[in-house]
Amino acid sequence: MNTIRLYLHSMRMLIRSQLQYPASFVMQTLAQLVMQGGEMMAVILLVNRFERLNQWSAGDLYFFFGLMSVTFYLTEIFGRGITGNFPFLIRTGQLDTFLVRPRGVLTQVLCSAADPRRITCVAVGIAALVLGCRMSAVQWSAAKVLLMAEAILCGCFLILGLFIIEGIFCIYSVKSVELVNALTYGGRSACEYPVDTFPGPLRILFTAVAPFALVLHQPGSVILGKPLFHWPEWTAFVSPLSGFAVFGITWLCFRRAMRFYRSSGS
Amino acid sequence: MKAYLSAFRMRRKMEMQYRGAVLGGIVCQVFFGLVLIAIYRALYAGKPQPMPLGRISSYVWLQQAFFRMLLASDPDLLDKIRTGSIAYDLCRPLNLYGFYYARILAQKMMGSLLRAVPMLAFAFLLPEGWGLQLPASAAGLAWSLAGLGLGLLCVSALENITMGFTMRTLDSRGMQGMLNMLMMILSGNILPLTLFPDSWQRVITLLPYAQLLDAPIRLYTGDTAPADAPGILLIQLCWVLALTGCGILFWRKNQRRIEIQGG
């Protein structure tokens, strides 16, 4: 409990410190809006030309796009320490100072950075979700709201877990991080579309290795009333938990890898 | 001239150094290419378009292979502007614009060639509808290579204009982010320009961003017939001249009001 309080406290401080330079903050936040808006425009243009993707209508596609955007960028806001700063901490040797403090390394990394500029990306995602729900005429119920919250929460942990893999690579070699970007940023770009778009190998990758399909697409498809692979609806409540599993496994690996950490800093 | 050439050569050698990073970049870019083509294939299965699928996959591969040409900036210069050590550069008996133009040109050329050659070789091996097709004609290939050269000059000039903004504001991350995104969309990296609504294409293909990769790729795939190629190259040439001219003026103006801070 204490750890969570510390984390929330540092988030508050980090976000307040970023707001100290309002002009720069506003400019960068707007830049994020343009960037994510551009991604959204690409989906709109595709839908405009092709109308549908397999069984998914335009509204469904916006919904999946929004679900991914909200999840991914919430993670970037609150998990910036892992999603962005970790290689920097290792390269500069700042990580060493974390080793002498009486808290877990991962906790301190998480507490070390926040990125509130991404808030506009989340806003674009929410707009896409609302648009998608309207166009696909989603019938909301308490269970579906709960399911959506569960999917987003588990999705955040899944993405954190994938970025921790990148961190583990960093511990062994400072460069060559781009390779793992295929899983994180590649996963984001690919899984803005439901997983049945992809041929076998990619489908397995996004179900078994980086389970975006289980965490986001399965609940999403149930909310839209078109369960993926015709699995029964209750599975949608269980499958997102795989996000926690990925986080747990990578967290354990991270702790092991930290034993081999050798400072490169000065 | 010799000084600019040696700046070009130094930078080219430097870009050859990080081969591990190149390999990681290639794997990542190949992955993105496969994902994009899978999406377009699924979309085509629902509603085929007049443009053959093979052309779309060729387009995607060429865009991914030359990705480094679009997004590569000179971090040294950014640092120099921030720390004030750009003062040393001002002492050189060189035109600052020309010096950095040579550097960025070398970086973009070498960076993208190193990645493009293995990626395109890989893409040729993929089956029909997934991989890269042969060029539509020998003439088309020759024209597209010429177009690629002009595109390279164009993107280097664009990059220097972005740098000019950095000199003005110090913290240009917002501006840079926006200009980069504009480039990614309007050059056809996120979505092939050939899939934009037809009425938009008539305007977009005239913008400078379309001259970088879209114009040469269309010449390669045969979307633009070799007979129309001289006109396309003329548009590219106009943009190269216009952007370089604007850049030189912009930098000259910046240099006059530059203030070095720190030491």
Please report the ipTM that was assigned to this predicted complex.
Answer: 0.86
Measured between beta carbons, which residues in chain B are less than 8 angstroms from residue A31? 173-178, 181
What is the predicted pLDDT for the residue at A138? 83
Please indicate if any CB of chain B lies within 8 Å of the CB of A259. Answer: no
User: Is the CB of B21 less than 8 angstroms away from the CB of A176?
Assistant: yes
Does residue A8 lie in a domain region? Answer: no
Average pLDDT, chain A: 86
> Which DSSP letter does residue A53 get?
B
Residue A2 confidence (pLDDT) above 70? yes
C-alpha distances in angstroms, A174 versus A162, B42, B73, B198, B207?
17, 38, 21, 46, 39
Angle formed by the axes of helices B138-169 and B229-256, nearest 10°: 20
Mutation to test the A interface, candidates B17, B181, B183, most A Cβ within 10 Å: B181
Write out the residue range of the structural domain in which residue A209 sits.
22-258
Residue range A112-156, pLDDT digits in tens: 888 888 889 999 999 999 999 898 888 888 888 999 999 999 999
Write out the residue range of the structural domain in which residue B99 sits.
2-256
Residue B261 confidence (pLDDT) above 90? no
- CA-nearest residue of chain A to B39? A197
Q: Which residues of A127-151 are buried (b: 16+ CB within 10 A; e: fewer)?
A: bbbebbbebbebeeeeebeebbebb
Residue of B131 and A251 predicted with greater confidence: A251
User: Is the CB of A179 less than 8 angstroms away from the CB of B27?
Assistant: yes
Residue range B25-84, pLDDT digits in tens: 888 888 889 999 999 888 888 888 778 888 889 999 999 998 888 876 777 777 777 777
User: Is the CB of A38 less than 8 angstroms away from the CB of B190?
Assistant: yes
What is the predicted pLDDT for the residue at B234? 92
Please tell me the distance in Å from B220's CA to the nearest CA on chain A. Answer: 23
Please indicate if any CB of chain A lies within 8 Å of the CB of B48. Answer: no
What is the predicted pLDDT for the residue at B153? 92
Please indicate if any CB of chain B lies within 8 Å of the CB of A195. Answer: no
Does residue B101 lie in a domain region? Answer: yes
Does residue B263 lie in a domain region? Answer: no
What is the predicted pLDDT for the residue at A67? 92
User: Is the CB of B24 less than 8 angstroms away from the CB of A176?
Assistant: yes
Q: For B96-118, what is the mean pLDDT? A: 87
Does residue A217 lie in a domain region? Answer: yes
* pTM listed for this prediction: 0.87
CA distance A197 to B245: 46
Residue A182 confidence (pLDDT) above 70? yes
What is the predicted pLDDT for the residue at B61? 92
Does residue B211 lie in a domain region? Answer: yes
Q: How confident is the model at residue A265 (pLDDT cuts 50, 70, 90)?
A: low
CA distance A264 to A259: 15
Does residue A3 lie in a domain region? Answer: no
CA distance A73 to A68: 8
Burial class (CB in 10 A: 0-12, 13-18, 19+), A195: buried
Q: How many CB pairs below 8 Å do chains A and B form together?
A: 108
Q: For B141-150, what is the mean pLDDT? A: 90
3-state secondary structure of A56: strand
Residue range A4-17, pLDDT digits in tens: 888 888 888 888 88
What is the predicted pLDDT for the residue at B262? 60
Smallest Cβ–Cβ distance between A193 and the set B21, B32, B39 belongs to: B39
Residues ≥6 apart with Cβ < 8 Å to B101? B4, B156, B157, B160, B244, B247
Q: For A24-40, what is the mean pLDDT? A: 86
Does residue A159 lie in a domain region? Answer: yes
Average pLDDT, chain B: 84
Window 187-226 of B: residues touching A by CB (8 A cutoff) are 190-191, 195-197
What is the predicted pLDDT for the residue at A226? 82
Residue A93 confidence (pLDDT) above 80? no
Domain count, chain B: 1
Please tell me the distance in Å from A100's CA to the nearest CA on chain B. Answer: 32
Does residue B262 lie in a domain region? Answer: no
Instruction: Please count the other Cβ atoms lying within 10 Å of the Cβ belonging to residue A177.
Output: 18
CA distance A153 to B138: 54
What is the predicted pLDDT for the residue at B241? 93
Does residue A6 lie in a domain region? Answer: no
Does residue B88 lie in a domain region? Answer: yes
Please indicate if any CB of chain A lies within 8 Å of the CB of B45. Answer: yes
Q: For A234-255, what is the mean pLDDT? A: 89
